[in-house]
Each structure stands twice: as structure tokens, then as C-alpha cells.
Structure 1
Amino acid sequence: MTLLIGYIPTPVGEAALEAGLAEAVVHGENVVIVNSSRRGATVDADLVDEQAGAALVARAAAAGVPARLEQPTHGRDMLDVFEDLVAATGARAIVIGLRRRSPVGKLVLGSDAQRILLEASVPVLAVKAPA
């Protein structure tokens, strides 16, 4: 089976990667590391370059987990990106990181993570970065 891991180069993304790799080791699964640019931007601090992507795949390999990096561009929300990958890979679960947001921020801006948690067609493991 396959796990999808949402990754951005932040402590939250690192927490998701570590939790996803640990889960994959326990269940003998492979992973797809999903690093997608925000709203289709061509310049995005959350998008990893080729060298950083290769390092992520190497980290997974060092943990004994077969992995590949997917960097889909999107103009739609992240839930659609994950659902497309679930359909394409047969993934059994999604692993994402959560960051602290104020109630007003959630109300005004919405939340990709919240939509993924509530509407994904497969189980979602949500982790927070260590304090």
C-alpha cells in the first residue's frame, strides 16, 4: 500500500514527513511525498527544488521506505490534489502537518488542512510540530 505525505519545508512539514515515514516502516508501505505550490504559483517558498526533493527521497530510503516526490501544480484546493493522488496511487491514508491558527484566521481564510481532515476519502493522520 501507499501513504501520501503532505510536505512543506517547515517544522510542520518535517513533523508530517517523520510521522509518515514511521507509519510506512511499521506497515511496510511506500510513500509519495506531496509538495505542491500554493495556488499554482511559480515562485513559492513551500516548493522544494530538485536537490531538496532528492534529499527527501534519500531520507525515506535511509529509513527503509521506498518513496517518490510528486509536485503537482494546482489552481484548485489541496483536497483535490490529494484526492487525485489517492485515486492514482491507491493510497490508504494521508499524513499532514497542522499549524496553530487563531479562530479568526480559520473563519476568514478557511483551511486546506481542515478540508482534508473532514472530506478526504481515506483516513488522515494529522500531526503537529514539536513545541
Structure 2
Amino acid sequence: MTVAVVASDSPEGREALVRAVEEAELRGLPLIALLVVDANSVSEEDREATTLATQQILASRGLADAAFSIRVEPDAGDPAGAIVDLVADTGASLLVIGSKRRSAVGKFLMGSTVQRVLLDSPVPVLVVKAAEGGGTR
């Protein structure tokens, strides 16, 4: 069992990472950061860049010692499906994901990856948003 977090370099993604570290420590579980890239394949450079970005986010929040692993996969045109598949493949017991605040009309017109993940995830999902004004907490 692990705590999985959807990695992204956004205020919501950074907050999700911090909360995932807290949840992993609370539960005594390892942390795995999941990144789904808009591509047909993933290079070693993608994996290294994701690892470095994750380490920098954790260090900036005073969590440099947090242990984690990275899983980077292509989305094959369906980011929500790829995230759900990764969660199942990793054996995660919890998924943490960041979400932007959007109006009901915006959600209706554009769909929502987070909404699809919530509906299709095989494990509980903790949805996190960044604090108002773009900062975290």
C-alpha cells in the first residue's frame, strides 16, 4: 500500500504534494508521485525532471527529507484514465490530487479530469486546492 499523489507544477499540485507527504507520514506508508504526460512515450529526461521538480517543491516547504518514488507515464489521450490506471497499478490506498476552483458552467463545458478521477478511482481520493490568492496554505 502507498499514498499516491498526482504531480504537477501548479499551486494546486504543490499543495497536493505537501498534503500527500503528510498523509503518507500519518499512515506510515510510502509516497509515490504520479505524472501523466501528454505524449506517446516517456523519456528518461521526463523522469529526471519530474524527480528534480518534486524534490525542489518538497525542499521549499521544509520537507526535503520526505521519501518518495516517481512514476511517469504517457496519457494516450486520456489523462483521467491514465491516472486511474496508475493508481490501480501502484497498489495505492489513497490518491491525493489538486484541483482548481471552477464555476459549474466551466465544469459542464470543459469537463473535469478531477471529476473523472473521483468517479473512476478504485481508492479514496483527497482533493486539495491551493489557498486563495495563488499561494499555498
Q: Which residue of 2 aligns with 1:22?
A: 22
Deviation at 1:116, TM superposition (A): 0.8
Per-residue CA distance 1:5-26 (angstroms, 9 max, x = gap): 0111010100100110000011
SS, match of residue 122 in structure 1:
coil
Deviation at 1:65, TM superposition (A): 3.9
Per-residue CA distance 1:49-102 (angstroms, 9 max, x = gap): 724523524738x56543111211112423322232223221101100010112
CA contact 1:12–1:97 (8 Å) conserved in 2: yes
Structure 2 unpaired stretches of 5+: 133-137
CA contact 2:50–2:70 (8 Å) conserved in 1: no
CA–CA separation in structure 1 for the residues paired with 2:27 and 2:82: 24
CA–CA separation in structure 2 for the residues paired with 1:41 and 1:16: 26
Q: Which residue of 1 aligns with 2:85?
A: 84
Letter in 2 for 1:50: E
Q: TM-score, normalised by structure 2?
A: 0.77
Q: TM-score, normalised by structure 1?
A: 0.80
Q: 2:112 aligned with 1:114, yes or no?
A: no
SS, match of residue 72 in structure 1:
strand
Deviation at 1:114, TM superposition (A): 0.6
CA–CA separation in structure 1 for the residues paired with 2:33 and 2:112: 20
Count of aligned positions: 124
Letter in 2 for 1:101: R
CA contact 1:29–1:65 (8 Å) conserved in 2: no
Letter in 1 for 2:87: V
Q: Which residue of 2 aligns with 1:101?
A: 102
Against the structure 1 CA distance between its residues 25 and 63, is the aligned structure 2 distance closer, same or farther, given a 3 Å change threshold? Answer: farther
CA–CA separation in structure 2 for the residues paired with 1:118 and 1:81: 14
Q: Which moved more, 1:96-105 or 1:12-21?
A: 96-105
Q: Which residue of 2 aligns with 1:45?
A: none
Identity of aligned residues (%): 35
CA–CA separation in structure 2 for the residues paired with 1:29 and 1:93: 10
Q: 2:10 aligned with 1:10, yes or no?
A: yes
CA contact 1:57–1:67 (8 Å) conserved in 2: no
Against the structure 1 CA distance between its residues 63 and 25, is the aligned structure 2 distance closer, same or farther, given a 3 Å change threshold? Answer: farther
Deviation at 1:127, TM superposition (A): 0.7
Q: Which residue of 2 aligns with 1:54?
A: 52
